[in-house]
């Protein structure tokens, strides 16, 4: 007896990476209802296109509703989150771009080296950028396209983005006490850190530090510490380091703690994220 033909079910979430283009990573989410995030930030520049449906979008102190056709932009360090609205379906594609590579492109475009320039808008519905994103994403994830074609398409799209959107100067943390606290976390996140140690370095009480830190960064010192650890783990997983080793190197007590934090901030398990080019699916979660 022959079995009926069945249409393959598309994975809920797919990551794309290619060793020939180490400065960029892509993610496609087919059902955003099943991929939910806590507030977090990336060391990369991130840009995404909403393909269908709608969701809430938080970026720093801004919160709004976004729908199909919206491009969202997150500068490195911007605390953000996108989540479904009352279980309404939505789908999107994201690009995560190394800030150093993008800064080099910006330097070439402006004939001067000042480092990464922040993008002022947190979203846009520019039709040229929508079309440019779709074209570039298609080239990037095309297994038959040559690396030189993909690299050229990256330069073309991000040059267009640079020209179309007004840029802003990166604003440093003006409060020296908060800056000392953030620097302590950034330099020591791979070891246990107590709140008393962080507040002592900043010269304020723990309660004052929590209030001020959350007001400026959009997250508590502990959440900031966890986010730094997860971003480190993300980079190590891309290098193929075993998950258990990554967990300890990042400062987590064990693999289970990394698993929970990674899933909470990136809406993917470390095993799912670690998979290679275009082969990831939710079936990889158990690896």
Selection from 217, 223, 207 nearest residue 178 by Cα: 217
* pLDDT surpasses 50 at 107: yes
* pLDDT surpasses 90 at 59: yes
Residue 178, both tokens: 């908060």
> Which span out of 43-52, 77-86, 177-186, 206-215 was modeled with the highest average pLDDT?
43-52
243-275 confidence digits (pLDDT tens): 999 999 999 999 999 999 999 999 999 999 987
For residue 119, what is the DSSP state? E
- What DSSP string runs through 165-223? S-EE-------HHHHHHHHHHHHHTTS---HHHHHHHHTS-HHHHHHHHHHHHSS-HHH
Structural domain spans, the chain = 13-168, 176-286
69 burial via Cβ count (<10 Å: 0-12, 13-18, 19+): middle
Distance CA 22, CA 284 (A): 22
Q: Helical H runs in the chain?
A: 99-110, 127-140, 147-164, 176-188, 195-202, 206-217, 221-238, 243-250, 255-266, 270-274
**pLDDT of res. 172:** 52
Indicate the angle between helix axes 221-238 and 243-250, nearest 10 degrees.
140
Residue with tokens 């290679």: 276
Distance CA 49, CA 28 (A): 10
Under 8 Å CB-to-CB from 16, ≥6 apart: which residues?
A: 25, 26, 27, 28, 140, 141, 277, 278
Q: Dihedral through CA 209, CA 219, CA 228, CA 185, nearest 10? A: -10
Residue with tokens 């969701």: 55
17-55 confidence digits (pLDDT tens): 998 999 999 999 999 888 888 899 999 999 999 999 999
* pLDDT surpasses 70 at 279: no
Residue 213, both tokens: 């830190």
| CATH class assigned to 176-286 | mainly alpha
Asked whether 192 and 251 are in contact (CB, 8 A), the reply is: yes
Average pLDDT score over residue span 214-233: 92
For residue 40, what is the DSSP state? B
High-pLDDT (> 70) share of the chain, %: 89
Q: Give the right CATH number for 13-168 from 2.60.120.280, 3.40.140.10, 3.40.50.1370, 3.40.50.1970.
A: 2.60.120.280
CA distances from 245 to 17, 236, 258, 270 (A): 22, 9, 11, 12
Model-level pTM? Answer: 0.81
**pLDDT of res. 222:** 93
């Amino acid at each position: 007896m022959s079995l009926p033909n069945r249409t393959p079910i598309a994975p809920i979430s797919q990551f794309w990476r290619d060793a020939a283009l180490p400065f960029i990573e892509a993610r496609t989410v087919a059902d955003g209802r099943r991929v939910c995030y806590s507030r977090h930030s990336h060391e990369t520049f991130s840009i995404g296109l909403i393909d269908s449906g709608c969701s809430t979008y938080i970026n720093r102190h801004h919160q709004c509703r976004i729908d199909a056709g919206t491009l969202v932009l997150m500068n490195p360090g911007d605390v953000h989150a996108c989540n479904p609205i009352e279980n309404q379906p939505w789908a999107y594609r994201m690009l995560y771009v190394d800030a150093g590579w993008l800064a080099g492109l910006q330097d070439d475009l402006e004939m001067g080296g000042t480092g990464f320039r922040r993008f002022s808008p947190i979203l846009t519905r520019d039709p040229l950028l929508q079309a440019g994103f779709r074209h570039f994403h298609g080239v990037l994830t095309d297994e038959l396209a040559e690396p030189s074609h993909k690299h050229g398409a990256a330069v073309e799209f991000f040059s267009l983005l640079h020209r179309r959107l007004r840029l802003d100067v990166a604003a440093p943390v003006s409060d020296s006490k908060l800056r000392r606290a953030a620097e302590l976390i950034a330099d020591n996140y791979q070891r246990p850190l107590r709140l008393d140690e962080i507040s002592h370095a900043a010269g304020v009480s723990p309660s004052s530090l929590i209030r001020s830190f959350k007001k400026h960064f959009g997250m508590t010192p502990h959440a900031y510490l966890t986010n730094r650890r997860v971003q480190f783990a993300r980079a190590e997983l891309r290098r193929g380091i075993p998950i258990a080793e990554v967990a300890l190197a990042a400062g987590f007590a064990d693999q289970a703690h990394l698993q929970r934090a990674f899933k909470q901030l990136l809406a993917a398990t470390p095993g799912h994220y670690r998979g290679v080019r275009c082969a990831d699916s939710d079936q990889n979660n158990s690896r």
